[in-house]
Amino acid sequence: MPAAPEFVTVVEVSPRDGLQNEQRLLGADVKVELVDRLGRCGFRAIEVTSFVSPKAVPQMADAAEVMARIHRVPGVRYSVLTPNLRGFAGAHAARADAICVFGSASETFSQRNINCSIAESLDRFRPVVAAAREAGIAVRGTVSCALGCPYEGAVAPEAVARVARALLAMGCEELSIADTIGVGTPEATTRVMRAVLDLVAPARVNGHFHDTYQRALVNIDACLALGIRSFDASAAGLGGCPFAPGATGNVATESVLERLAAQGFATGVDVDAVRAVGAWIRAQLVA
Ligand code: HMG
Ligand code: MG
């Protein structure tokens, strides 16, 4: 009997990272329908929304409404971003299965994104992570700008490892290592991921790649070679961060699924169904 294919988790982030940068505000109806359509594609994890300041990210202002109205598919983990305790309170009330605290390896990006230094952000995250663990809610810690910063340029792997170590120490179960502006190369990705894998097993690491220079897929290959088996992706390649000028979309889920299938990995996700959702949400954005 041939061995069962190895499983790779593809976390669908289009409802959050995909939409947060869109200038035109979509109604909650469309967001709920997006999450529900994605829920039928076979994903095990969907990043739904962010409990952040509506002034900072107007598109995510309806986080509570969207969470309340989605139809949850059993076995799918519905996660949200929470920058502080207020965000956590919203996430908890909304019955999020998982939360994400999001830090940065770059001081300037930390200031621009969440209005505090890296050290201050870690102090803010600590009680959030503790509260989530206490409530039995899974916690991801993101390190943005792991491969470069839109303001500072190069970022040292040691800077990434420092934040990663702090996030692990406060109790994050998973680390998401993010190429916020898509400047990574396979070599740089390997260096950064090795620095992270010195701290934590690959099973607890996720790769989050924006695709500015169409290198996300080869960067994912570099991660796969190191044993990492979880990647964020966004239907139709939507995405970007309002605080990261020049960054384009997340790597397209459709491309990641095809690449993984070609390499013999199982994802449980129906690529044709995702393609249909991707076309549908793109049409909503131009309608
Ligand atoms: P601040 O101004 O330092 O915080 O912002 P504050 O506590 O002084 O509050 C300012 C205002 O926000 C107040 O309202 C608060 O009530 C409100 P006002 O009195 O002015 O009307 N507020 C909140 N409202 C709702 N929910 C909350 C909340 N907290 C405060 N949780 C803060 C700090 C972090 C809140 C702000 O900077 C913020 O919300 N930033 C959002 C950043 C963000 O969402 N960025 C995009 C996601 S990260 C990303 O895309 C990267 C990622 O994809 C990985 C990668 O690619 O790198 C994950
Ligand atoms: Mg992102």
pLDDT digits (tens, 9 = 90+) for 101-113: 999 999 999 999 9
Give me the pLDDT at residue 231, please.
99
Q: Return the best residue to mutate from 47, 50, 51, 52 for the ligand 1 pocket (most ligand atoms within 8 A of CB).
A: 52
Give all domains of the chain, ordered by start, each with its CATH number.
9-286 (3.20.20.70)
Residue 145 annotated as catalytic: no
Residues near ion ligand 2 (CB < 5 Å) are 17
pLDDT of residue 146: 98
Instruction: For residue 146, give the ligand 1 atom closest to its CA.
Output: 57
Residues 133-143 have pLDDT tens digits of 999 999 999 99
138 CB under 6 A from ligand 1? Answer: no
What is the whole-number distance in angstroms between the Cα of residue 141 and the centre of ligand 1? 16
Residue 238, pLDDT > 80, answer yes
- Asked if pLDDT for residue 100 goes beyond 90, the answer is yes
Examine the pLDDT at 70 and tell me if it is beyond 80: yes
- The position carrying tokens 């340029």 is 153
With a 6 Å cutoff on the Cβ, whether 52 touches ligand 1 is yes
Q: H/E/C letters for each residue in 171-237?
A: CCCEEEEEECCCCCCHHHHHHHHHHHHCCCCHHHEEEEEECCCCCHHHHHHHHHHCCCCEEEEEHHH
Reported as type and span, the H/E element at residue 81 is strand 77-81
Confidence of residue 1 (pLDDT cuts 50, 70, 90): low
Query: Does 287 have pLDDT greater than 80?
Result: no
User: Which pLDDT value is given to residue 167?
Assistant: 99
Measure 52 CA to ligand 1 centroid, in angstroms. 4
| Ligand 1 atom 1 nearest Cα | 115
The pLDDT assigned to 148 comes to 98
Give me the mean pLDDT over the 21-36 stretch: 96
The reported pTM is: 0.98
12 or 4, higher pLDDT: 12
Alpha-carbon distance of 39 to 64, in angstroms, equals 18
Task: Name the band, by pLDDT with cuts 50, 70 and 90, for residue 245.
Answer: confident
Length reported for the chain = 287
The ligand placed nearest to the CA atom of residue 80 is: 1
- What pLDDT score was predicted for residue 244? 86
How close is the Cα of 32 to the center of ligand 1, in Å? 22
State how far Cα 75 lies from the chain centre.
19
180 Cβ below 6 A of ligand 1: yes
- CB of 164 closer than 6 A to ligand 1? no
Residue identifier of the C-alpha nearest atom 46 of ligand 1: 241
- Percent of the chain past pLDDT 90, that is, above it, reads 93
pLDDT at 131: 98
The mean pLDDT of 175-204, rounded to a whole number, is 98
The residues facing 138 across adjacent strands are: 98
Q: What ligand has the least distance to the C-alpha of 112?
A: 1
Binning pLDDT at 50, 70 and 90, where does residue 161 land? Answer: very high
**Nearest protein Cα to ligand 1, atom 25:** 53
Range scoring the smallest mean pLDDT among 101-105, 138-142, 160-164, 237-241: 237-241
**pLDDT tier for residue 203 given thresholds of 50, 70 and 90:** very high
Is the shortest distance between the CB of 84 and ligand 1 below 6 Å? Answer: yes
pLDDT band at 93 (very low <50, low <70, confident <90, very high): very high
Centre of ligand 1 from the C-alpha of residue 226, in Å: 34
